[in-house]
Structure formats: C-alpha cells, structure tokens
Amino acid sequence: MKNELLHGTLEVMILKTLSWGRMHGYGIGRWIMEQGGEALRIEEGSLYPALYRLEHKGLIDAEWGLSEKNRKAKYYRLTAKGRRVLASNVTTWTDFATAVGRVLASANAPARA
C-alpha cells in the first residue's frame, strides 16, 4: 500500500496500539504489522516522526525506561486527550467504512436521469 495513504491513518493506528498499554516504538511497529499483515508494511523509520508529532499534539506521553533485555528505551502511552481523539477517530472510520461498504455492495441500480 502506498505510504501516503497510510500517513494519516498511521497516527490513528498508533493511538489504537497504545490503547492496550505503554509500549516502545519498536513494539508499536511490530504490533501494527502483525495485525495488519503485508498490506500495512511501512518503512519502519516513518513510525518515529509520527510518534513525535503525536507527542507534540499532546495525544501521547513519552518516558524513558528499561526494556525486557535491560536496554534504554523510550516508552509511550496514551493521554486522556489521546484516548478521546482515538475514540472519535474510530467512530469516524467505522462509519466511513460502513458507508463505503454499503455503496460497494449495493444491488440497486441508480435511477436513470
């Protein structure tokens, strides 16, 4: 899939990922690709600008900690504002997807003008 399409939705997906709990950048990328499969394969590097943008907007928080292998890692978590934004985005997306699906699955032909 083209990266341009993913750009906006990447941020939403990050938010969703973090809704499960705090995670470092590598883990977020791995989870998204596990869930979405090959269709959602992205350049791993593009994850980080998205994370920093989200932090700037105040939707996520960052904190340094130690990973499972005792390495220094930056952990992210969702803020209250981020949670609200995620919820509203999910609603928008599902509504949108439902509407598109209805159009594509429709059996009614358009009325001839």
Q: Which is nearer to other proteins, 50 or 85 (CB)?
A: 50
What are the strands, taking DSSP E only, across 1-113? 23-24, 60-66, 72-78
In the complex, the residues that contact other proteins under the rule CB under 8 A are 24-26, 29, 43-46, 48-49, 51-53, 55-56, 61-64, 67, 69, 71-74
- Least distance between other proteins and beta carbon 109 (Å): 46
- Least distance between other proteins and beta carbon 4 (Å): 14
- Least distance between other proteins and beta carbon 51 (Å): 8
For residue 33, the SS3 value is: helix
Element (H, E) at 69: none
Q: Which is nearer to other proteins, 41 or 84 (CB)?
A: 41
Compute the CA torsion angle 39, 45, 31, 9 (nearest 10 deg).
Answer: -60
Q: Which two tokens stand for residue 89?
A: 């985005």
